[in-house]
Structure 1
Amino acid sequence: MNSIQKIAQCFSPAAFIHDTEENYQAIEKLIQEQEIGGLTFFHSRHSAAANFEKRAEVLDVSGTLEKMIGLINRYQAISKTPLLISIDGEYGLAMRIEKTPQYPFAITLGAIADKAPELIEEVGYRMGLDMKKAGIHLNLAPCADVNTNPNNPVIGYRSFGTNPDKVARLSLEMYLGMKRAGIGACLKHFPGHGDTQTDSHLGLPVIQKTKEELKKEELIPFQYGIDHGVEMIMVGHLAAPALSGGKEIAASISRDITTDLLKTEMGFDGIVISDALNMKAVADLFPEPGLLEWEAFHAGNDILCFSDHVKEGISAISKNATKEEIDIVFEKIWALKDKLGVFDFKKLEVPQFDWNSHSELQSRLAKEYVSIVSGKTDSAELNRLANEGKLSHQFFFGNNDTIFSKKLNQKFDLDLGNTSIDKAEKVIISVFVPSHKPLNQFGMYEETLAEIKLLAQAKSCILVHFGNPLALKHLGNLEDFEAVICGYQSFEEAQEAAADLFLK
């Protein structure tokens, strides 16, 4: 290969599953004319995390898995060199593709106590097997961010928790599980996106901490991963002036951070991949096409993800980089492709998933993470009140048709939803949080939240919370509830596990 072809192997632009034929052909043109190294698949332009433009076309978004398999086959068939196919699937293929197995969020898995390492490694393994079946070589996960800022708009449920050592251990287990399945994975978003108040899709987050403070918190999971042989790290679009000579520059385009700190000081000799280069934290800084790609390459990134200016980027790198720099990066990517079996591509069939096995794993997980986080329940008292018609179930953002409602009614052998609050001595309140993202109080209406708070002050209440636990702060003083049960997510298996707690 000549140097231009070698540089092209660094590029992994976005490929949208639901798109126009014109756009599919534009990807084919990139593959044939620019000889790119890979593609990163997203559901659609509308749903891509970094896309905030309105879209004119109305596309059919059904059959996502089938369409992706068809596109992978189509694109691989015309590529001179087999493509490295990646996806951003932190909780499985389901993050991007409907009707595929979904696994718990990192914050949910972080609630598992005794069996956390083995169970999280198993989740990574199962997730990896699903992806391998679907033709994916690389999962851009897990997050190794420490969620120290509860107001963080972009990490939250994506982090394993607030303790750096715990995040270090669990993110490594997830990584190792995917590696055992035979796919690539990466820790992200270096140097740590947990203590930020800006979404890097929209602007540049800045961490105002000293280097010593960063070493005691944000950098711990990444150093732990490096010490345990992690082979890929994603660098984020966030500034840490203490690491970049006082400059407010994104880590992804800072040589001080990506090369001097990550590679030299911390000893990382694996592959560095950039976060999506179309994100506004960096994209808006470089109006000249190709300049951002060069800056990211020069900073020390080996794979350039979601570049919108591939041709210009290749040209800029070829003009500015040395032959030695190009060869080193190319050899790393070529070795990665070989290791992940990219060169052995065979035409894909649409995979079938073992849903029974998936549900069994989900049940095992739910029994570990669904828990009483404050107070206690008295099953004998609840049975007595139910028999006397004095136990009520009130549901918010859910209904009497949920698995939890049905299970509860079965356990007490009557429809608790029919018992009025006035007659009840005790009320079970179930809250199905509409969104796992913090915008607009996680999608919960102010008047509904006020109703829950008033009810908790007026009656003896047990709160059963299905959703991101960070949303609990909007439900008032938790001491107003006799007990708080956290289900973390609304999976059927989590609802069953929560209902089971009422018999203990």
Structure 2
Amino acid sequence: MSIHNGEAFVQSIARRIIARLHPARYVRDGDYRDSISALVARGIGGFCIFDGTLDDVSETIGQLQSLAQHRLLFAIDAETGLRMRIEDAVEFPHAFALGLQDPRVTEGVASAIAASLRSLGIGWNFAPCADIASNPNNPIIGIRAFGTEAPRVVEHVCAWIRGHQREGVAACAKHFPGHGDASTDSHIELPLITASADELVARELVPFYAAIKEGVRSVMVGHLAVPALDEGGQIASLSEAIVRRLLRERLGYEGIVVTDALDMRPITQRYASGQAATAAFAAGCDVALVPADAHEAIEFAERALRSGMLSLEEHRDALARLDQLAEDVASFPPTSISQSEHAQRALEAAVGALRLAGDRSVLPLTQYAHIAAFALVEHDAPLDAPTEFFRYLAQLYDGNMDVAFISREIEQSDVAAHAEAIAQAECIIVAVFERPRAGRPLSRWDDPNLAEALERFAEGKRRVLLLAGAPAVKLGWRADVVLWTFSDSSPSCAAAALLLSGRIGGDEQ
């Protein structure tokens, strides 16, 4: 597309907006399909994919690209692989599990994930997290980060970028200028980062600077309040001080700058969609990601460009960056992948992250004729991970196994019933599945009533604790041996079952 002044040039600002896309609806709902087609007709830049099957996604991308007058950019947030969004795809362990291993493991996983994206025509992944998990009470970063210290995070962020981008898929370092030290979830409320400018430069910004030097194609700016960097208190994703003056000018970044999702509450509670997108562009961002109302965002941004509120020169530069990305993505044709080979790589990465501490003679579980396994879950929490773990363990253990889900609010009558049911069990496994989830606070498991119930269950039995996800869960219950997976992904659940059943060994914590 030629870039020139005039109305067509003004309308091209739609190409700087990436809209939300649900392929599961697109292939089944005619009204929704028409609404997405209308965005394509308006010149939308591309779409961020949120759900569906592999077939849904492939069909949707093919249809939408055929409707567009320019190359659409299809993106996804797939930190742990396509399974994070697409139901029949392969899942990989979380970044924290990879960060415990040689960076070559991370590079290989990133390469495999990128190949799976490219097989569908997806050319942009909003990963990796370049945040440092420095705050254990952070409800949204945690095991999504590669570690708690800058040097480890730097090594693995750079490895991820190398592995991803050599497969022709753009990586994205997020959430600039660093979300790891927050104590609130930016999906729900605006986190306040209280670190000084010197602290931010010495810690939070280090992985981002390394990512820039590694040639990362894009950087995502988070919805964060960082007074040390913007005294006016503007949200980082909409802050000229943080985007233009810090990221562009001081750090010298020349790639694509994208906002975090503009349909998150810190934005929608303060701005209409058009205001948010235009503020992001005015701050120096190239791309406004999933505004709540994409049509409104386009209309408002067109008016702002037409009136001179937005820079024509910056708009040209942004389009040039996006054109180059689309061209580079297209130069890597879709490829076929082996789901089974990717699943094997995921399992190997999960096994490599396992850490074990305590009395190893308690394992393997196959030495016992009868065991009992309890998964600690909140009332409304997803049950996919603990269910998978139970399924894997049942496949590997031939004895009598009782399983149950319990919560902090367990009734005394249920405690008595469980205790009676597992009276003959020789070993008890307590599994905690805890990780950051958008819109959900971290669970608190150090409840005295829960600890008392677990003590009653474990009386006279060997005790195993599985921490499948966050490594620093406080439980208030003593175990003989503890196993950490640093991820609740499907391969991590399988790896835990393999170790507990004696099929593989594990490293000391």
Report the TM-score, using the length of structure 2 for normalisation.
0.82
What is the CA distance between 1:318 and its match in structure 2? 3.4
28 and 421 in structure 1: CA distance in 2 versus 1, 3 angstrom threshold: closer
Pairing of 1:250-289 with structure 2 (within 5 A)? 250-287=235-272, 289=273
Query: Is this contact kept in 1: 2:139–2:436, CA < 8 A?
Result: no
* Aligned amino acid, residue 284 of structure 1: Q
Query: How far off its partner does 1:378 sit?
Result: 2.2
Contact in 1 for aligned 2:13/2:301 (Cα 8 Å): no
Indicate which of 248, 264, 278 corresponds to 1:294: 278
DSSP-derived class of the 2:174 partner: strand
Residue 328 of structure 1: which of 306, 310, 317 is its match?
Answer: 317
Aligned match of 2:43? 35
In structure 1, the partner of 2:408 is: none
**Equivalence map 1:394-433=2 (5 Å):** 394-396=373-375, 402-409=391-398, 414-415=399-400, 427-431=427-431, 433=433
Distance 1:316 1:375 in 2: 63
In the alignment, the residues of structure 2 paired with residue 456 and residue 472 of structure 1 have an alpha-carbon distance, to the nearest angstrom, of 20
1:23 aligns with 2:32: yes
User: What amino acid does structure 1 have at the position aligned with 2:375?
Assistant: F
1:66 positional shift:
1.9
Shift of residue 129, structure 1, vs aligned partner: 0.6
Q: Distance in 2 between matches of 1:443 and 1:406?
A: 31
Q: Distance in 2 between matches of 1:73 and 1:364?
A: 33
> What is the correspondence of 1:173-212 to structure 2 with a 5 Å cutoff?
173-212=159-198
Change (3 A) 1:368 1:452: farther
Q: 2:232 aligns with which of 244, 247, 255?
A: 247
Q: What is the rounded CA distance, in whole Å, between the counterparts of 1:332 and 1:305 in structure 2?
A: 16
Counterpart secondary structure, 1:340: helix
- Counterparts in 2 of 1:17 and 1:217: CA distance versus 1, 3 Å: same
After TM superposition, give the deviation of residue 315 of structure 1 in Å.
2.5
* Conserved 8 A contact 2:139-2:441: no
Write out aligned runs for 1:488-503 (5 A).
Answer: 488-489=487-488, 490-491=490-491, 492-500=494-502
Per the TM alignment, residue 465 of structure 1 is displaced from its structure 2 partner at its CA by 1.1
2:407 corresponds to: none
In structure 1, what residue type is equivalent to 2:302? I
After the TM superposition, which residues 334-345 of structure 1 pair with which residues of structure 2 at under 5 Å, given as runs? 334-341=323-330
The alpha-carbon distance between structure 1 residues 254 and 74, as it changes in their structure 2 partners (threshold 3 A), is same
Displacement of 1:104 in angstroms is 0.9
Cα distance change on mapping 1:466 and 1:269 into 2, 3 Å: same
Task: For residues 210-266 of structure 1, give each alpha carbon's deviation from its aligned partner in whole angstroms, at most 9, with x where no partner exists.
Answer: 00111122111101112222231110110100001x222111110100111111111
Aligned identity (percent) is 29
Pair 1:430–1:457, CA change in 2 (3 A): closer
- Give how far 1:456 is off: 8.5
Q: Compared with structure 1, are the counterparts of its residues 462 and 436 closer, same or farther at alpha carbon in structure 2 (3 Å cutoff)?
A: farther
Q: Say which is worse superposed, 98-107 or 152-161, in terms of deviation.
A: 152-161
Indicate the SS of the match to 1:237: coil
Tell me, yes or no, if the aligned pair for 2:305 and 2:312 is still in contact at 8 Å: no
Give the counterpart letter for 2:20 in structure 1: A
Matched position secondary structure for 2:121: coil
| Partner amino acid, structure 2, of 1:139 | N
Specify the code of the residue in structure 1 equivalent to 2:299.
K
State which of 63, 67, 72 in structure 2 corresponds to 1:78.
Answer: 67
What secondary structure is seen at the aligned counterpart in 1 of 2:252?
A: coil
Determine if contact 1:132/1:183 at 8 Å carries over to the other structure.
yes
Structure 2 CA distance for aligned equivalents of residues 310 and 380 of structure 1: 60
CA shift for structure 1 position 471: 6.3
In the TM superposition, 1:80-159 aligns within 5 A as: 80-110=69-99, 112-113=100-101, 116-159=102-145
Aligned to 1:463: 464
Aligned-partner residue type, residue 236 of structure 2: A
Alignment partner, residue 367 of structure 1:
351
Residues 1:314 and 2:306 are matched in the alignment? no
* 1:363/1:380 CA distance change after superposition, 3 Å: closer
- Residue deviations 1:265-285 (CA, integer Å, cap 9, x gap): 112121111111121212332
Aligned to 1:236: 222
Count of residue correspondences: 461
Q: Which residue of 2 aligns with 1:51?
A: none
Inter-partner Cα distance in structure 2 for 1:269 and 1:434: 38
Q: Deviations over 1:286-335 (max 9, x none)?
A: 24x52221210111111111122222223223321232222111111111
**Alpha-carbon separation, structure 1, partners of 2:157 and 2:176:** 13
Shift of 1:502: 7.9
Q: CA deviation at 1:432?
A: 5.4
Pick closer, same or farther for the CA change 1:493–1:187 going to 2, 3 Å: same
The answer to whether the aligner puts 1:214 opposite 2:214 as a matched pair is: no
Aligned pair in 2 of structure 1 residues 362, 495: CA closer, same or farther (>3 Å)?
farther
Residue 381 (structure 1) shift: 10
For the Cα contact (< 8 Å) 2:97–2:350, is it kept in 1? no
Rounded to whole Å, the distance in 2 between the matches of 1:41 and 1:380 is 43
Counterpart CA distance in 1 for 2:50 and 2:424 is: 51
Q: Is the 8 A contact 1:435 1:443 kept in 2?
A: no
Given the two structures, how large is their TM-score scaled by the length of structure 1?
0.82
For residue 421 of structure 1, report the CA deviation from its aligned partner: 6.2
- How far apart in 2 are the matches of 1:354 and 1:494? 24
Moved more, 259-268 or 321-330: 321-330
Kindly indicate whether the alpha-carbon contact (under 8 Å) linking 1:11 and 1:305 is maintained by their aligned counterparts in 2: yes
- Cα separation, partners in 2 of 1:119 and 1:469, compared to 1, 3 Å: same
Mapped to 2, the partners of 1:435 and 1:161 lie a distance apart of 14
Q: Distance in 2 between matches of 1:446 and 1:440?
A: 16
Between 295-304 and 8-17, the greater mean CA deviation after superposition: 8-17
- Is the CA contact (8 Å cut-off) linking 1:42 and 1:96 kept in structure 2? yes
Cα drift, residue 445 of structure 1: 11
CA separation of 1:371 and 1:503: change in aligned 2, threshold 3 A: closer
**2: CA distance between counterparts of 1:137 and 1:263?**
23
Query: Is the CA contact (8 Å cut-off) linking 2:13 and 2:298 kept in structure 1?
Result: no
* Structure 2: runs of 5 or more not aligned: 377-385, 404-419
Q: Secondary structure at the match of 1:297?
A: helix
Output the CA distance in 2 between the equivalents of 1:315 and 1:381. 67
2-side partners of 1:380 and 1:87: how far apart?
Answer: 40
In structure 2, distance between residues paired with 1:173 and 1:87: 20
Confirm or deny: 8 A CA contact 1:85 1:135 kept in the other structure: yes
1:484 matches 2:482: yes
Q: Which AA in structure 2 matches 1:431?
A: A
| Unaligned 5+ runs, structure 1 | 44-62
Call closer, same or farther: CA 1:167–1:24 in 2, change over 3 Å.
same
Output the aligned Cα RMSD.
Answer: 3.1
> What amino acid is aligned across from residue 38 of structure 1 in structure 2?
G
